[in-house]
Amino acid sequence: MRPHRLKLSRHTATDREGATSFMSKSITQDMAYRQSLMKYVEKYGVSRASRKYNKSRSYIYFWRARWDGNVESLACQSRRSHSHPNQHTEVELKLIRDMRRRNPQLGLVELWHRLKQRGYTRRPESLFRVMRKLGMFPQEKKKKAYTPKPYQQMTHPGERVQVDVKVVPRRCITDPELRLFQYTAIDEFSRLRFLAAYPEQSTYSSADFLKRLVKWYARKGIHVECVQTDNGFEFTNRFSNSKRDIPTLFEKTAAELSVRHKLIRPYTPRHNGKVERSHREDQKRFYSLHSFFSLPDFQKQLAVHNRRSNNLPMRPLAWLSPLEFLVQFL
């Protein structure tokens, strides 16, 4: 279809500028299309215009009835009624305003109940919509957007070790009464991991695991300076109502070993992202393929998996395994 240009009548300089401004702001592409269609209808008729523009005859008759020579007549007009036959009257609105002004602390239901005692016949849903439209509800304060801090990059092994606990899936355990837990420690710099199996998730298991990981990393030539954990009860009493000021056995053990204990932001597991990511890999590579009959069986298989995972190349380490990367650094 060949484009049709809009032709404007001659005006004075002021009128021409006003018309140009109006046309650029108000005429939509659809309106210009309908104007082109109407001019074609005036010249060639409805049937030919219907075939050329691929529009039904009823569509053309509808817009031709509106067409008065001005493009403004071709604008879409809302069919929504300007008023509702059952809308609130001024008397009802005044009653609502007065009641709200005298009782600003009342809830919606109680306010509706008092209005009903004074002759108000609407439903609570209708009252809610009117009060919202009148701006009678206090605006909620916008929460300050959380701006994450720049991630601190580690400069040497042992500077910070992330620790977390993974619950062994039930389908991997043959004994329905047995519960197993995997304690994981991962060095943020070298990605070297230490895994241990425990029958319970408690501060006693966490304290024992801390002692073992410090010795294990020391044998690899790594001095653990800091351990980072979430806010679980096995690590801290931070969110305990009765024991908030009492250090856990894990925290006492960390102090005895001169290891700094760092807690992540609550409900922000991504701050412990390396250990969380390693747990996902454990699920895919280990727990989806193995089953365990007892705690000793789980310990044996987990030790084998730990050795294999520390010998797998990783992209963050330039496709070196954690052990290879550690050897290069040390």
Which of 30, 24, 43, 32 shows the shortest CA–CA distance to 6?
32
Q: Phi first, then psi: what are they for 210, rounded to 5°?
A: -65, -45
pLDDT in tens, 15-31: 444 444 444 446 788 88
Domain limits, the chain: 13-74, 90-133, 161-329
Helix (H, G, I), strand (E, B) or coil at 243: coil
Residue 323 pLDDT: 94
DSSP bridge partners of 185? 163, 194
Across the beta sheet with 226-229, the strand order is 193-198, 181-187, 161-167, 226-229, 260-263
Q: What radius of gyration do the chain's Cα atoms show?
A: 37
Helix (H, G, I), strand (E, B) or coil at 5: coil
Residue 84 pLDDT: 75
Segments of the chain scoring below 70 in pLDDT = 1-26
Q: Which CATH architecture has domain 161-329?
A: 2-Layer Sandwich (3.30)
Residue 26 pLDDT: 64
Which structure tokens are listed for 300? 């044996």
Give dist(CA 235, CA 308) in Å, integer. 28
Which residues make Cβ contacts (< 8 Å) with residue 67, sequence separation at least 6? 38, 73, 74
Q: Cβ(272)–Cβ(166) under 8 Å? A: no
Residue 247 pLDDT: 92
